[in-house]
Amino acid sequence: MQAPSLDWSIGGYETIAALLLPAAETVVAAAGLKRGDRVVDIGCGTGNAALLAARQGAEVIGVDPALRLIEVAAERAAREGVQASFRQGEAASLPIPDASMDVAISVFGIIFAGDAAAAIAEIDRVLTAPARIVLSAWLPRGAVFEMNAAAAAAVRAAVGAPPPPAFNWNDRDELTRLLQPYGFTLSTEEHELAFTATSARDFLEEQSRDHPLAVAGLGLLAKFGRAERVRSDLLDILEKGNEDATAFRATSRYIVAVAHR
């Protein structure tokens, strides 16, 4: 769910990150890392992809705007005996020197960048040549996507805000146009991730409690007296899209884009 101000420190993103671990594994595998590769994980969250890359012998820096999540990632690395460093920063303003990284990865992180062109320009600044970028982006289909889209629309309607301009990170043609000026060639591959729970209601409750955007969005809707109505609408979407007659499962599809130069 999207709120006017994104604060990824609220809620319990650790729970959400655990659900996304298989996608992090897919992205890191697609990066084809070698020992000694210098890797920046953009929007690293609690460190899923950064720690996977570090275990393969890469020299990893994780970057995220949420200080609390950076601290969680650093604590995970220390607890698991993995060498990785973490810094607070954003995609369009990376706290990394010029031409100091070989690989940039992002697991559903860079897709939240407010300015796609500025983010890619900044990634180009910190990468060497040759270099590669590997990112994942959700495809606009499935019950979870429909739930998130409906929630975002409800928040915009409550505050009278128009839809924000958005770059389609899942569109190969748009990605190609964005990356070509920097000498990158692009390939994409579709993957899927199943979200499961004991019921659609339990899944919605978990998302409402732990996902930072859901926490912010429902908190805002509550001020307008619309939260419970929206919850009901979201539950209806999940129940209609449920793929499991005895519990809950919703399959979301995403692309992994790999850019080389």
Which two tokens mark 153? 């629309």
In the numeric block, which tokens belong to residue 208?
């409402």
Question: How many Å apart are CA 7 and CA 171, to the nearest integer?
Answer: 26
pLDDT of 167 strictly over 90: yes
pLDDT (mean) for 21-42: 98
pLDDT digits (tens, 9 = 90+) for 44-88: 999 999 999 999 999 999 999 999 999 999 999 999 999 999 999
Region 171-193 average pLDDT: 97
Share of the chain above pLDDT 70, in %: 98
In this prediction, residue 153 carries a pLDDT of 93
Residue 128: in which H helix or E strand, if any? strand 127-138
At 144, is the secondary structure helix, strand, or coil? helix
Give me the phi and psi of 197, to 5 degrees please: -165, 175
Whether the per-residue pLDDT at 159 is higher than 60: the answer is: yes
Look at phi and psi of residue 47 and say left if phi exceeds 0, alpha if psi is from -120 to 50, else beta. Answer: left
Return the minimum-mean-pLDDT range out of 1-5, 61-65, 239-243. Answer: 1-5
Give the pLDDT score at 7. 85
For residue 1, pLDDT over 50 is answered with: no
pLDDT score for 163:
81
Q: What is the pLDDT of residue 4?
A: 41
What's the pLDDT score for residue 209?
A: 96
| C-alpha–C-alpha distance, residues 150 and 154, integer Å | 6
pLDDT at position 3 is 36
Instruction: Evaluate if pTM is beyond 0.85.
Output: yes
Output the six-digit token pair for 118: 């500025």
Q: What is the pLDDT of residues 148-157, one digit of tens each?
A: 999 999 999 9
Q: What is the pLDDT of residue 128?
A: 97
Give me the mean pLDDT over the 218-243 stretch: 96
**From 3.30.70.1290, 3.40.50.150, 3.40.50.360, 3.60.40.10, which CATH number describes the 13-260 domain?**
3.40.50.150
Q: Which amino acid is at 165?
A: P
**H helices then E strands: how many in the chain?**
10, 7
pLDDT value, residue 166: 84
User: Crossing angle for the helix pair 48-55 and 67-80, nearest 10 degrees?
Assistant: 30
Report the DSSP beta bridge partners of residue 189.
256
Write out the H or E segment, with its range, that includes residue 141. none
Question: What local confidence, expressed as pLDDT, does residue 162 receive?
Answer: 84
Burial of 210-219, coded b for 16+ CB within 10 Å and e otherwise, reads bbbbbbbbbe
Average pLDDT over residues 15-41: 97
The mean pLDDT value of the chain amounts to 95
